[in-house]
Amino acid sequence: MMLKPVWIYLENGVFLEAKSFGFEGSKTGEIVFNTSMSGYQEIMSDPSYAGQFIVFTMPEIGIVGCNDDDMESKTVHASGMFVRSLNEMPSNFRSTECLPTFLQKHESMGICDIDTRYLTKMIRDSGPKMMIASTEISDPAKLKAMLTASPRIEDVNYIEKVGTTKSYLHVSSVWNADTQSYEKATNSLGKKILAVDFGIKRNILNELCATGLEVEVIPHDFSADDIMKRYKSGEISGLFLSNGPGDPLILKKEAAQITKLIEAKVPMFAICLGHQLLSIAHGHPTYKLKFGQHGGNHPVKNTKTNVVEITAQNHNYNVPESVCSIAKVTHINLFDNTIEGLEYNDAPIFSVQHHPEASPGPHESKYIFQEFANRL
């Protein structure tokens, strides 16, 4: 395919030219890097990346192609991706389309033939930056003006854009390699939970169903009173708070509803954004990390067993050390010693910052889903 030029302007004044594949036009977003060696389709379709451009440190991207089965949501939520070298021709028996076609279909930008090591080191040294990429405008002054006029990622409520608006039952379980399909959920435990969709990944729902739970997905603008009624009546056994994009501190309504559920001692389990919202709802606001944790190779220590688990990460924000006054730390990131897991003292509530459903270890952290089911 013929690659067209694309121009990139970052808020620190860096102006670059590269080649474009995928969506054509102009998009703004926050640039971050991801150190995963594989799984680019799952990463691009993860709603937690809404409003971001992802720099892949793996230099060769595209060789396994794309397919519908590996989608983590219905569409691509990331603004775009940076790759050093694009592989246009996939070589994988499960592939149904190449990466450029996939990005075009989902209106996400692809940028290649660029020094991704330079971009990664810049983000590492000075943090993520807002940026604009355009296949239409080459004038840096115009790009700067457009970027300045655009909202920053921390000012946008992305969960309103990526989550469901109606409740539904999730009916699939984990992937079966023999049948090349997802197994059907069975509800073998006879227990039902609600999963709040802040931008939930499909594989999280699959893993919850794999424990034998019945899972009903509900919108982000849930009512704590309705959930408490359903819990007290015995209709549901607990609540799951999902991952999602953006700054958790702007989700004041959601945090207020979670506070009510904490006071009612409704059993809860949370991942990533949900983990952060639990801390906020307990009165301990999150803070932004220097360059975030994004990748599939982050070592995390389980403080209960002293076992080191290799985890997948995707977060720019973190819970503060002050939360230790009301919770026990169950997991610690060995890269930077930040908190990766908590078990609260005053209620049947626990959470993790990393993504146990992403299978980076490949299965070292999946026990967390079963632990939730066992506690209900």
- Tens digits of residue pLDDT in 278-317: 999 999 999 999 999 999 999 999 999 999 999 999 999 9
Give the residue numbers marked as catalytic.
272, 355, 357
Instruction: Round the average pLDDT of the chain to a whole number and report it.
Output: 96
- DSSP-assigned letter for residue 158: T
Tokens representing 366? 């999946």
pTM above 0.85, yes or no: yes
The per-residue pLDDT for 212 is 97
Does an H or E element contain 350, and which? strand 349-352
- Residue with more model confidence, 1 or 114: 114
Percent with pLDDT over 70 in the chain: 99
The per-residue pLDDT for 356 is 94
The per-residue pLDDT for 187 is 94
21-50 pLDDT, tens digit per residue, is 999 999 999 999 999 999 999 999 999 999
The per-residue pLDDT for 303 is 97
Query: Could you tell me the fold of the domain covering 4-155?
Result: Glucose Oxidase; domain 1 (3.50.30)
Answer whether residue 116 shows pLDDT above 70. Answer: yes
The per-residue pLDDT for 262 is 98
Are 96 and 127 in contact, with CB atoms under 8 Å apart?
A: no
Averaged pLDDT, 54-67: 97
Is 159-375 in the same CATH topology as 4-155?
no
Answer whether residue 223 shows pLDDT above 80. Answer: yes
The Cα–Cα gap between 317 and 288 comes to 4
Averaged pLDDT, 108-132: 98
The per-residue pLDDT for 358 is 83
The per-residue pLDDT for 112 is 98
Answer whether residue 348 shows pLDDT above 80. Answer: yes
Residue with tokens 């729902």: 205
- pLDDT range class, residue 117, cuts 50, 70, 90: very high
Tokens representing 333? 């990131």
The per-residue pLDDT for 31 is 98
- pLDDT range class, residue 361, cuts 50, 70, 90: low
Using DSSP's 3-state secondary structure scheme, residue 358 falls into helix
Query: Domain residue spans in the chain?
Result: 4-155, 159-375
Using DSSP's 3-state secondary structure scheme, residue 63 falls into coil
Give bridge partners of residue 134 from the DSSP assignment.
7, 26
The per-residue pLDDT for 363 is 77
The CATH superfamily of 159-375 is Class I glutamine amidotransferase (GATase) domain (3.40.50.880)
